[in-house]
Structure 1
Amino acid sequence: MLSSFRFFHVLLFAIASFSCQKQEKINPVASASNSIEIGLIDSLYSEILGESRTVWVHVPNSAKNTLFGDRTYPVLYLLDGSAHFHSVSGMINQLSTKNGNMIVPEMVVVAILNTNRSKDLTPTRVEIDTFTGDSIAYESGGGGAFLDFIEKELIPHVEKKYPVAPYRTFVGHSFGGLSVLNALISKPDLFNNYIAIDPSLWWDNQAFMKTADSILTTNTYTGKSLYIGVANTMSDKQTIETVMDDTTRSTLHIRSNLEFANSIESKKENGLEFNWKYYGNDTHGSVPLITEYDALRFMFPWYAFKNINQIYDPNSDAIDLLNSIATHFGLVSDQFGYAVLPPAGLINDIGYTKMRLKKFEDAHTFFDLNIKNYPDVSNVYDSKGDCFLAEGDSLKALEYFTKALEVGPNEYSQPKIDAIKGAMAK
């Protein structure tokens, strides 16, 4: 038999070794091909549109981490997908996981690539160009069918194939912003959040804008959010105050957006969570990035954990922290409309922090919460075993490592079991 001192340190060496192996599997540096992948290319045939459609899909890296079981994520549908896929998926990643951020949730991003952009993204058919008076050389007015494709074909495809939850955000720029507003008034239950970036509300000589304004006045949109970004498309001599008195076609775009935004802002009784911003330093082409950033922050003010310092404070009281976590995720669940449990990885990190501080009772409290919330996940039992092992209770540790393997296979519990049994046999 090993002395208790030596036995304990042999086991601590084992747990450190196997815990490092687990950590390496959580955050792989690169794929086997030495490439960094942010998404995949998918396609489906649309009976509604009579053509094959391509989408680029970003799934959060945490979905690939099997240590904490399966997760589902809110989903963001993005028009003009090839133009905005990299920036939007990167922005969400930055705001949701990097540097301890919990500003917005991790999301699946579905970027829809174009085939016939003008046809798909415009709500009405127009024959005459609003600006020139000449005949329009491109197709238009297929917006209704395109939204039917999203509703009846694309969304079911995504929900069947990817780990998404029933909470959706719709984002579009220019004609895409027009499509977003078309979805809001014609299919208000299809998405939770609508982001219209410098929308082309001049379309059809403002006919759609006036229709949308009327519908938004009449109907109720409780639980829905809309954000509009307006770019600076004026001449240097104009301001957003003076441009409204202009009557030239060159300012119709910004005048339409300002008129619409101010009108929607005045509608206080329709229940719509609405905000908009004029970006004086951005053109029609540069405004998407900053609008998306502001819009996401506007739409998820309830997602950030307000007492984030409490999580990382080594002296925080375990019960107070548990209560804060329960309150926060109760609020998040109410906003999403479905139960959202505290992420197992977050709770596990708190447990290990307490364990390293030798606050074993507190550590067990958090590991037990994970077992309660994720009883079918092997790793939560393994972590509980690590805590018993750190306390020097090898028999209880052995019990939980064994339980971990009974729940599901993993690569880290059996070596610990072997180390414990080997030490006991000496």
Structure 2
Amino acid sequence: MMRILRLIPALFILFSSGFANAGAGKALTIADVFTLDSGETGETVTYYVSRPDGYSASHAEYPVIFVLDGDFNLSHLVGSHEVLVRTGYMPPAIIVGIVSEDRTYHFAPTASEQYPNAGGAEKFTRFLKRELIPALSQRYRTNGHKTLIGHSFGGLFASYSLVNHPELFDSYIIVAPALWWDEEVMLGQLQRTNPESFINKRLFFGIGEDDGYGMKQEMRRFIEAMPAVQGLRIEQSQFTNEGHMSAPLLTTYFGLKHIFSDMMLSEEIGKNFTANAFLQHEKQMRETYGAEAKQSAETYVYLALELMEQERYADAAVVFERNAQAYNTFANSWYWLGQAYEKDGRLTDALSSYEKAVELASQGRGTLATFNDSVKRVRQAITKNAEP
């Protein structure tokens, strides 16, 4: 506990110096609005695109998260994304909110006696596959990793996509799905699907505790019918004191954490640290989710400072180097890296890092006096070592 308490002031300085004055005087806009004339549905489809922070300044490619009923679900998804990226639970992603003017037609897989004009799910799938996804790939830097989120009828469509077009999306967040549709037609389709279609899929199902009993049982039966195949990761949750219309926020939040759970450093890497294992994890994470994928700053800092306490300065420098790469506008990132270099006897590297900290602190992003003292101390040490 005392160790954690000693770190809290340092982390507070890191965060406050990094976020001060960010975006001052600018309007906050969470998405751009587009329309697409669809030959598949015969309609003009409206969709929103929210780009991650730093998109314009980077050359990275990004995963894409598609959310149905985007006019209702985009804003809370963007908020969850911001929190989870900042805390290292998911990579920066492009978010696409799709507006549907006829949910029953677009999202239902079949017509029924009660809804004879439904059954357009296959046409809507073709719209996604042949029109929207290619249009996004042309306009934005996407890396091919795709997630689909759907609620209620949208959850029914997500289930249809999973069963009938599993190649289209890598992962699914399915919220209170209307699996009662047409006497649970999707359950029957699932039971007839080749189990190998679900290899390496990541699925999260969520529903509110106060949702209907039938909805919960239908979702349970669907999940239980999923085959046990290699790499399939399924998680489900029932949220206390939440109903049908309030469940999407929590389901989306925890669903994203589940889907991208391999972002986080494993307990094994933390307990039995080796630089090779750490760097291999970081490399794999960026190859899968894009060059901007990273742990939270506190994850890197806690780990590196623990290594400093163990006097493993070279290992601490490896972690601090990654932290400085990922959070290069934080003066403390470079200051801590300088400390690791200095302790490891790499004085020239330490001086460069301290000078970078001074540069950023001069822009109002750190404690300038402390950093100047470090520069002076290391310069004197380098001069002394150079004396005959």
* CA distance in 1: counterparts of 2:316 and 2:241, whole angstroms: 50
Contact kept? 1:302, 1:331, Cα under 8 Å? no
Identity %: 24
Distance 1:28 1:117, change over 3 A: farther
Match of residue 103, structure 2, among 110, 117, 124: 117
Would you identify which runs of 4 or more consecutive aligned residues in structure 1 move more than 3 Å?
A: 26-33, 217-220, 320-325, 337-343, 360-371
TM-score, with length taken from structure 2: 0.68
Q: 1:152, CA displacement in angstroms?
A: 1.1
State the one-letter code of the partner of 1:286: S
State the one-letter code of the partner of 1:327: Q
- Which residue matches 2:200? 223
Spell out, residue by residue over 1:169-218, the C-alpha distance to the aligned partner (whole angstroms, 9 max, x if none): 10000110011111111111111101111111111122232212332x64
- Which residue matches 2:281? 328
Spell out, residue by residue over 1:229-269, the C-alpha distance to the aligned partner (whole angstroms, 9 max, x if none): 233334xxxxx6xxxxxxxxxx4x333223222333xx324
Query: Gaps spanning 5+ residues in structure 1: where?
Result: 1-22, 130-134, 235-239, 241-250, 311-319, 354-359, 375-382, 402-426
State the one-letter code of the partner of 1:78: V
- Which residue matches 1:278? 238
State the SS of the aligned residue for 1:61.
coil
Contact kept? 1:222, 1:270, Cα under 8 Å? yes
Q: 1:288, CA displacement in angstroms?
A: 0.9
1:254 aligns with 2:216: yes
The structure having more radius of gyration, on CA atoms, is 1
State the SS of the aligned residue for 2:192.
helix
**Mapping 1:148-187, distance limit 5 Å:** 148-187=126-165
Contact kept? 1:48, 1:145, Cα under 8 Å? yes
State the superposition RMSD in angstroms: 4.7
Distance 1:296 1:342, change over 3 A: closer
* CA distance in 2: counterparts of 1:209 and 1:275, whole angstroms: 18
State the one-letter code of the partner of 1:122: A
* CA distance in 2: counterparts of 1:287 and 1:366, whole angstroms: 38
* CA distance in 1: counterparts of 2:45 and 2:59, whole angstroms: 28
Contact kept? 2:63, 2:143, Cα under 8 Å? yes
1:189 aligns with 2:151: no
Q: 1:143, CA displacement in angstroms?
A: 0.5
* CA distance in 2: counterparts of 1:285 and 1:370, whole angstroms: 40
1:93 aligns with 2:82: yes
- Which residue matches 2:44? 52
What is the aligned residue count? Answer: 332
Contact kept? 1:220, 1:270, Cα under 8 Å? no
* CA distance in 1: counterparts of 2:245 and 2:319, whole angstroms: 48
State the SS of the aligned residue for 2:198.
coil
State the one-letter code of the partner of 2:224: N
* CA distance in 2: counterparts of 1:342 and 1:222, whole angstroms: 26
* CA distance in 1: counterparts of 2:154 and 2:200, whole angstroms: 22
- Which residue matches 1:105? 91
Spell out, residue by residue over 1:15-53, the C-alpha distance to the aligned partner (whole angstroms, 9 max, x if none): xxxxxxxx99x98644765x2111211222222122221
- Which residue matches 1:288? 248
State the one-letter code of the partner of 1:300: F
* CA distance in 1: counterparts of 2:245 and 2:45, whole angstroms: 25
- Which residue matches 1:416? none
Deviates more, 1:155-164 or 1:166-175: 155-164
State the SS of the aligned residue for 1:125.
coil
Match of residue 146, structure 1, among 124, 128, 133: 124
Q: 1:94, CA displacement in angstroms?
A: 0.3
**Mapping 1:30-45, distance limit 5 Å:** 30=23, 35-45=27-37
